[in-house]
Amino acid sequence: MTSFRTLDDADVKGKRVLVRVDLNVPMEDGKVTDLTRLERIVPTLTDIADRGGKVVILAHFGRPKGVDPSQSLKAVVPALADVLKRPVAFAADCIGEVAAQAVDAIRPGEILVLENTRFHKGEEKNEPDFVKALAANGDLFVADAFSAAHRAHASTEGLGRVMPAYAGRTMQAELDALTRALEKPERPVVAVVGGAKVSTKLDLLGNLSKKVDFLVIGGGMANTFLAAEGKAVGKSLCEHDLVDTARAIVAEAAKNGCRIVLPVDVVCAKEFKANASHRVCGIDEVAPEEMILDIGPKSVEHVVSILGRAKTLVWNGPFGAFELEPFDNGTVSVAEAAAELTRAGHLVSVAGGGDTVAALNQAGAADRFTYVSTAGGAFLEWLEGKPLPGVDVLRT
Ligand SMILES: Nc1ncnc2c1ncn2[C@@H]1O[C@H](COP(=O)(O)OP(=O)(O)OP(=O)(O)O)[C@@H](O)[C@H]1O
Ligand SMILES: O=C(O)[C@H](O)COP(=O)(O)O
């Protein structure tokens, strides 16, 4: 069995601990608008600090091409200090003299953020010299950015190869949850895959159909599967060029003993806007001028009954255009049912993906899920069954 060294195995006292976290948080007018990623890293940072380590934070922000003051991590430092309820120092570079002096200047138990690693091209190229320059400021490496672990960058993967490396608390929680959900799940396992387009989730559907017992397809992508069954989907978002691909996914799933679950009724409107005039209809009754914008009540009931018999749920992507009321209804109703089944101890539920997390928050259901991942791309790549370099480098 693969295992990971964790913070419990690390002797951090008096050491300079390079901690890779994800500070890629949403900002508006220089203020952080969602603190979730900052809150998640508190246990790791306080644990190292309280055990007498010097906490030296490495992170990226945005996708700058070289040094770009508008993408400086300095703007995130006040919010991080607020969340930690401790002072946080900042250094204007992540390597060289500036970084070395800042690391020298903090005492054991104190916390320092180094400037955006992506200001140096060696970060994304994972250049050995840049890895070396980062490593010069630390004695050990703690990886706590699962959400950046799909990147083989210097600060996510390179450092793990050149110094003693440990999984931080968030990384550990994420890996535990993901293992419970797909690697060693209690069966039956249900995957809900919604969202806009099949084309963005082909690998994911292929991988999940090998691993889960029920693959519930929702959102715009369900329309392509419905079209593949010969249903008329009117003006709905639908990738007609992918109907053969959809048929191949269904056939492959059947071979693997995985049941594909599609909507049996839908909510249709003629306009893509909030509170557009709408109606519920059977899946064979969509008119040429209509768009499917949500699943209907019978579909909700069907999905909820499947969840009622399941032990594990993995969820990525909403059932409908959840940003527009009342087309959030399907997503909200299924989310509420999943949250209650989880709270009652009947279900292990793991969800991820930017829009998915927004939809679960909107439904007031996120807090009752077993685990909600803050990762976007990394969560998707994990669902696709791809190796995550920032995780693999931690394996013992
Ligand atoms: N029937 C539909 N018609 C049109 N758009 C839809 C429909 N159902 C869902 N969507 C849209 O799909 C989008 C979400 O899909 P997406 O694949 O991005 O989800 P996600 O994987 O959770 O998010 P992310 O890509 O941010 O991680 C939403 O904007 C939603 O409005
Ligand atoms: O926000 C994210 O999903 C991570 O921080 C990764 O960011 P990236 O897609 O720019 O590598």
Lowest-confidence segment of 56-70, 195-209, 222-236 by average pLDDT: 195-209
- For 19-44, letters b (16+ CB in 10 Å) and e give bbbbbbbebeeeebeeeebbebbbbb
* Ligand 2, atom 7, residue with closest C-alpha: 148
State yes or no: pLDDT of 92 exceeds 60: yes
DSSP code for 9:
G
Question: What's the token pair of residue 147?
Answer: 């959400």
Percent of the chain with pLDDT over 70: 99
- Partners of residue 192 on adjacent β-strands: 216, 315
Report all structural domains of the chain as residue ranges with CATH numbers, in order of start: 7-172 (3.40.50.1260), 185-383 (3.40.50.1260)
State yes or no: pLDDT of 141 exceeds 80: yes
- Confidence (pLDDT) at 1: 46
State yes or no: pLDDT of 99 exceeds 70: yes
118 labelled ligand-binding: yes
Beta carbons of 142 and 168 less than 8 angstroms apart: yes
**Residue 285 neighbours by CB under 8 Å, 6+ apart:** none
CB 316 near ligand 1, within 6 Å: yes
284 labelled ligand-binding: no
Ligand number, closest to the Cα atom of 26: 2
Residue 255 to residue 238: CA distance in whole angstroms: 25
More confident residue, 50 or 396: 50
From the CA of 145, give the closest atom in ligand 2: 5
Which sequence positions are flagged as catalytic? 37, 197, 354, 377
C-alpha of residue 148 to centroid of ligand 2, in Å: 6
What is residue 246's three-state secondary structure?
helix
- Confidence (pLDDT) at 371: 95
Mean pLDDT of 213-240: 97
The mean of the pLDDT values for the chain is 96
Given the DSSP bridges, would you call strands 278-282 and 265-269 parallel, antiparallel or unpaired?
A: antiparallel
C-alpha of residue 164 to centroid of ligand 2, in Å: 24
Closest CA to 332 of 304, 374, 306: 304
CA–CA distances in Å: residue 46 to residues 8, 42, 50, 81: 13, 6, 6, 12
CB 330 near ligand 1, within 6 Å: no
174-178's contacts with Cβ under 8 Å and 24+ in sequence apart are 174/146, 174/371, 174/373, 174/375, 175/4, 175/146, 175/391, 177/350, 177/370, 177/371, 177/373, 178/350, 178/373, 178/382
CB 147 near ligand 2, within 6 Å: yes
24 labelled ligand-binding: yes
* Rg value, the chain, Cα: 23
Which band of pLDDT confidence, cut at 50, 70 and 90, is reported for residue 2?
low
DSSP code for 306:
H
CB 320 near ligand 1, within 6 Å: yes
Mean pLDDT of 364-389: 94
Tell me the pLDDT tens digit for each residue of 259-287: 999 999 999 999 999 999 999 999 999 99
CB 359 near ligand 1, within 6 Å: no
From the CA of 357, give the closest atom in ligand 1: 22
* Ligand 2, atom 6, residue with closest C-alpha: 148
Tell me the pLDDT tens digit for each residue of 321-365: 999 999 999 999 999 999 999 999 999 999 998 889 889 998 999
Closest CA to 116 of 155, 64, 167, 60: 60
Residue 365 to residue 351: CA distance in whole angstroms: 11
Which strands sit side by side in the sheet containing 165-167, from one edge to the other? 89-91, 111-114, 54-58, 16-20, 140-143, 165-167
Tell me the pLDDT tens digit for each residue of 165-218: 999 999 999 999 998 898 889 999 999 999 999 999 999 999 999 999 999 999
Beta carbons of 248 and 259 less than 8 angstroms apart: no
Testing ligand 2's pocket by substitution, the residue of 60, 124, 382 carrying the most ligand atoms inside 8 A of its CB is 60
C-alpha of residue 374 to centroid of ligand 2, in Å: 10
Question: What's the token pair of residue 85?
Answer: 């309820």
Residue 303 to residue 28: CA distance in whole angstroms: 37
Cβ of 63: how many Cβ atoms within 10 Å? Answer: 10
CB 120 near ligand 2, within 6 Å: no
SS (H, E, C) 142-208: EECCHHHCCCCCHHHHHHHHHCCEEECHHHHHHHHHHHHHHHCCCCCEEEEECCCCHHHHHHHHHHH
State yes or no: pLDDT of 296 exceeds 60: yes
CB 38 near ligand 1, within 6 Å: no
Q: What are phi and psi of 16, to 5 degrees?
A: -90, 115
State yes or no: pLDDT of 145 exceeds 80: yes
